[in-house]
């Protein structure tokens, strides 16, 4: 029997979407807010990324980082998370707090309501001095974000993936790094950031999620509705993604760095995203090509040839991108490229075992069922559905995966365009 629970959907009077999932599965209650912006230009992306890192330094009620920490301590060591993410050509400004379920502690007042109050204070009641965010916090936020942008190169795996995205989507908004750029960050001080933040809060979609042992969902919604009363006039859409369908050319690039292992990334474009009828065939295709350890690429490159410790594919399902990435020995690069092209072609010609389809489907179904066992994954998956205008139930997803046919997979395979090869190899940086 499938154990699944659903979000109750609400909307506050000032147009904030509220989703409440009432379940006693977890030991904690999780509150998560996404503010969604179009991934537009260097300056704005950098400004958007900067503000969350200013906000968590102090609010009107909790004016210092230390008083914020003390507040979290009071809430039984609540976990505050502030981050910035990219889904398609949308930038998500994310704020979340996770607290212990009330029934496990001797709390006088509901921890979940206190956590909601706390997030509200942080986002809607920031510390303002002379009409802008506190100068010191802006400076701190800027230097922290600058280091964060620069530190991308410390993790070679992530660096290569980001560089590949940049090159394959050059000229498109998707090539903007989630956290912005150094030059964008330098321009960010031209505006009054506090005013800019007020505009964001007024015009952007705001999605608020609560998962946990809530008891009375309607009551909690009422509480949220009474709390989040700031004036809003939502103007922006949930999704701002452009999907490229033609004019593909293969581009090859190499860079050097002082490293031991070469890392490569191959970029594939495919004009199929979550709302497309072939979407479920696409996720099966991705699993068969390189998404799973029984996939064509993993079995050939690692199991048969011993050329890599890791090789995998990842799907960006809002923009329609597949990346293949691996850590290899530089001398093997031509062989690995050859294998990739061969496997892509085999998929196009329908040269794949029935087993590969079946196993991939089973693993996908396993993965989707498991997803509902993790409160953070539930939010992530649901949000991707919202952005793409497809709030599919778990049962619908599972049935759709089961119904994917061989022909559908071949159809997907023939819409695949290999556009980019990127290699980071040992040398002088």
Partner 1 sequence: MIYKNFSNIGEEYYEKKLDSGLNVVLIPREKFNKKHAILSVDVGSVDLKIKDNEENVYEYPKGIAHFMEHILFENREGSIIDKFSQIGSSVNAYTGFNNTNYYFNTTSNFFNSLKYLFGFVLNPHFDDERIKHEKSVINQEINMYQDSPSWQSFYQLLQSLFYEYPIKYNIAGTQKSIEKINKKTLIDFFEKLYNLNNMTLIVIGAVQPDKLFNWLEKEKNITKQGNKKFVLEKIYPKEPNGIRLEEKDIAMSISRPIISLGYKENRCFQNKDKIIKQDLMTNMILEMIFGKSSDHYHALYNQDLIDENFSFNYMREKNTGFAKIYAETNSVDKTISGITDIINNWEREINSEDFEVVKHKYIGRYFRSLNSFETLSSQIMKYLNLDQNYLDIIQMIKDISLKEVREQYKNLLEEKEHVKIIIRTVHK
For residues 192 and 293, which CB has a smaller minimum distance to partner 1 in the complex?
293
For residues 61 and 153, which CB has a smaller minimum distance to partner 1 in the complex?
153
For residues 16 and 185, which CB has a smaller minimum distance to partner 1 in the complex?
185
For residues 135 and 203, which CB has a smaller minimum distance to partner 1 in the complex?
135
Tokens encoding 295: 């996939």
For residues 30 and 165, which CB has a smaller minimum distance to partner 1 in the complex?
30
For residues 109 and 247, which CB has a smaller minimum distance to partner 1 in the complex?
109
| Helix/strand/coil for 54 | helix
Q: Please, is 23 exposed, middle or buried when counting C-beta atoms within 10 Å of its C-beta (0-12, 13-18, 19+)?
A: middle
Tokens encoding 345: 């072609």
Rounded least distance, CB 95 to partner 1, Å: 15
| Helix/strand/coil for 126 | strand
CA separation, residue 77 to residues 7, 24, 126, 180, 190 (Å):
26, 20, 22, 31, 38
Rounded least distance, CB 17 to partner 1, Å: 25
Alpha-carbon span 192 to 422, nearest angstrom: 39
Alpha-carbon span 287 to 407, nearest angstrom: 16
Q: What is the DSSP string of 343-380?
A: HHHHHHTT---HHHHHHHHHHHHHHHHHHTT-HHHHHH
Rounded least distance, CB 199 to partner 1, Å: 27
Rounded least distance, CB 62 to partner 1, Å: 12
Rounded least distance, CB 50 to partner 1, Å: 14
Residues 207, 33 contacting (CB under 8 angstroms) = yes
- 210: nearest Cα among 14, 363, 428, 18: 18
Rounded least distance, CB 25 to partner 1, Å: 5
For residues 21 and 375, which CB has a smaller minimum distance to partner 1 in the complex?
375
**CB neighbours of residue 418 within 10 Å:** 19
For residues 127 and 307, which CB has a smaller minimum distance to partner 1 in the complex?
307
Rounded least distance, CB 167 to partner 1, Å: 20
Alpha-carbon span 317 to 384, nearest angstrom: 9
Please enumerate in sequence order all residues whose Cβ is within 8 A of that of 311, keeping only pairs 6 or more positions apart, or say none.
290, 297, 298, 301, 302, 324, 325, 326, 336
Alpha-carbon span 173 to 160, nearest angstrom: 18
Rounded least distance, CB 75 to partner 1, Å: 8
């Amino acid at each position: 029997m499938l154990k699944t629970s659903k979000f109750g959907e609400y909307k506050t009077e000032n147009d904030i979407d509220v989703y409440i999932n009432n379940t006693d599965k977890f030991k904690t209650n999780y509150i998560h807010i996404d503010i969604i912006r179009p991934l537009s230009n260097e300056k704005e992306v950098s400004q958007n990324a900067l503000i969350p890192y200013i906000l968590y330094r102090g609010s009107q009620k909790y004016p210092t980082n230390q008083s914020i920490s003390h507040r979290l301590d009071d809430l039984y060591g609540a976990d505050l998370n502030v981050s910035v993410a990219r889904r398609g050509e949308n930038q998500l400004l994310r704020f979340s707090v996770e607290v212990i379920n009330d029934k496990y502690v001797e709390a006088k007042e509901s921890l979940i309501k206190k956590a909601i109050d706390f997030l509200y204070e942080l986002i809607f009641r920031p510390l303002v001095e002379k009409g802008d965010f506190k100068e010191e916090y802006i400076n701190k936020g800027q230097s922290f974000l600058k280091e964060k942008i620069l530190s991308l190169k410390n993790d070679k795996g992530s660096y290569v993936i980001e560089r590949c995205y940049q090159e394959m989507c050059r000229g498109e908004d998707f090539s903007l790094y989630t956290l912005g750029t150094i030059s964008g960050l330098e321009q960010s001080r031209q505006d009054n950031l506090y005013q800019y933040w007020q505009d964001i809060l007024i015009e952007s979609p705001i999605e608020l999620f609560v998962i946990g042992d809530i008891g009375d969902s309607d009551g909690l919604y009422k509480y949220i509705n009474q709390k989040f009363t700031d004036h809003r006039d939502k103007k922006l859409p949930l999704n701002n993604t452009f999907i490229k369908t033609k004019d593909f050319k293969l581009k090859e690039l190499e860079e050097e760095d002082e490293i031991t292992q070469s890392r490569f990334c191959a970029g594939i474009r495919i004009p199929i995203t979550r709302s497309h009828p072939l979407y479920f065939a696409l996720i099966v295709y991705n699993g068969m090509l390189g998404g799973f350890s029984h996939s064509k690429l993993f079995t050939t490159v690692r199991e048969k040839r011993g050329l890599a410790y890791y090789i995998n594919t990842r799907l960006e399902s809002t923009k329609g991108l597949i990346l293949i990435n691996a850590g290899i020995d530089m001398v093997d690069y031509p062989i690995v490229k050859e294998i990739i092209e061969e496997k892509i072609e085999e998929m196009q010609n329908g040269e794949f075992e029935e087993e590969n389809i079946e196993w991939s489907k089973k693993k996908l179904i396993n993965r989707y069922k498991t997803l509902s066992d993790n409160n953070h994954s539930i939010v992530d998956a649901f949000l991707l559905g919202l952005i793409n205008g497809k709030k599919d139930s778990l049962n619908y997803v599972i049935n759709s995966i089961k119904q994917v046919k061989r022909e559908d997979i071949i159809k997907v395979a023939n819409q695949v365009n290999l556009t980019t090869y990127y290699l980071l190899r040992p040398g002088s940086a």
